[in-house]
């Protein structure tokens, strides 16, 4: 199927999905969310696909929700609970429940729900200039799309809270030290290094790898679904707040936000 905002390519049992809105740092508009959900379902179904790679076109992996689609923010016009339940949560669950390995080739910044998407992948091969940002706090939101669940499990509660409270970028080297990155490579070698790993995994015993993922999910992620649901409740609350409206306005106007605490 031809997509408007995604590129897909198959080679030797590896499907590569490239988020393709480079002008907006691959931010999620409605089309990209819908197409990614569709592409993930297709990859999960297709037995010829034995490893999935997700990456971004241009200089970013993904900048999260397209904030240009959130003008009028804080007015309650958009239900963030519904947005998460209808789009982001199925996307994250699809990556986590797909019984084949999913690798994020993190080519650049992964922010907001884009960071969550990278965290939901099984493994992360990361370009040396890439970074992970829990940018939600910068616009007055709470981490979503699985971040409250996945990040503390990857880095521990203290570091997860620090990243979520500050919205400071986690650089590739520190991500490697914390176990967020499985490997860090020079940007120009990212796809070669990713494909070496993906080809190896695609030649592996897919059923055993899939069930390994299922067993580890069961051991560690047994309550991911409720966590996603709870995040949607929290986002519904702050999505109607003046501070979120201010956060989005300040982003659009390229200035620092002046949060009132409301």
> Of 70 and 96, which CB lies nearer to ligand T3D in the complex structure?
70
> Of 14 and 84, which CB lies nearer to ligand T3D in the complex structure?
84
Please name every residue paired with 200 in a beta bridge, in sequence order, or none if there are none. none
d(CA 51, CA 74): 40
Tokens 């689609």 locate to: 69
Residues 68-97 that bind ligand T3D (CB under 6 A): 68, 70, 80, 83-84
Please tell me whether residue 231 binds ligand T3D under the rule CB under 6 A.
Answer: no
Interacting residue with ligand T3D among 44, 54, 113, 184 (CB under 6 A): 113
Please tell me whether residue 24 binds ligand T3D under the rule CB under 6 A.
Answer: yes
Nearest to 187 by CA among 76, 58, 14: 58
Please tell me whether residue 166 binds ligand T3D under the rule CB under 6 A.
Answer: no
Phi-psi region of 165 (alpha: psi -120 to 50; beta: other; left: phi over 0): alpha
Q: Could you write out the DSSP letters of every residue in 173-235?
A: HHHHHHTS-SEEE-GGGHHHHHHHHHHHHHTS-HHHHHHHHHHHHHHH-TTHHHHHHHHHHHH
Contact 132, 170 (CB under 8 A): yes
Interacting residue with ligand T3D among 64, 74, 140, 257 (CB under 6 A): 64
> Of 9 and 233, which CB lies nearer to ligand T3D in the complex structure?
233
Interacting residue with ligand T3D among 6, 14, 17, 27 (CB under 6 A): 27
> Of 69 and 225, which CB lies nearer to ligand T3D in the complex structure?
69
Contact 231, 92 (CB under 8 A): no
- Residue numbers of the site for ligand T3D (CB under 6 A)? 24-25, 27, 63-68, 70, 80, 83-84, 109, 111-113, 133, 135-136, 138-139, 141, 144, 235, 251
């Amino acid at each position: 199927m031809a997509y408007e905002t995604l590129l897909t390519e198959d080679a030797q049992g590896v499907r590569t999905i490239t988020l393709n809105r480079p002008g907006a740092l691959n931010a999620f508009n409605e089309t990209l969310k819908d197409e990614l959900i569709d592409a993930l379902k297709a990859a999960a179904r297709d037995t010829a696909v034995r490893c999935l790679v997700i990456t971004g076109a241009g200089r970013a992996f993904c900048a999260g929700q397209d904030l240009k689609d959130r003008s009028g923010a804080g007015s309650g016009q958009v239900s963030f609970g519904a947005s998460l339940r209808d789009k982001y949560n199925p996307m994250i669950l699809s990556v986590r429940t797909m019984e084949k390995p999913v690798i994020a080739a993190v080519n650049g910044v992964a922010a907001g729900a884009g960071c969550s998407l990278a965290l939901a992948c099984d493994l992360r091969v990361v370009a040396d200039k890439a970074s992970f940002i829990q940018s939600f706090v910068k616009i007055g939101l709470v981490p979503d799309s699985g971040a409250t669940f996945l990040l503390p499990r990857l880095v521990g509660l203290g570091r997860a809270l620090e990243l979520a409270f500050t919205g400071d970028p986690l650089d590739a080297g520190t991500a490697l030290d914390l176990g967020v990155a499985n490997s860090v490579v020079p940007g120009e070698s990212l796809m070669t290094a990713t494909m070496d790993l993906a080809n190896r995994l695609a030649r592996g015993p897919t059923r055993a790898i899939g069930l390994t993922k299922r067993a580890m999910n069961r051991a560690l992620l047994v309550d991911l679904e409720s966590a996603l649901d709870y995040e949607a409740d929290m986002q519904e609350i702050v999505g109607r707040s003046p501070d979120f409206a201010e956060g989005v306005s300040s982003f659009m106007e390229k200035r620092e936000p002046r949060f009132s605490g409301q």
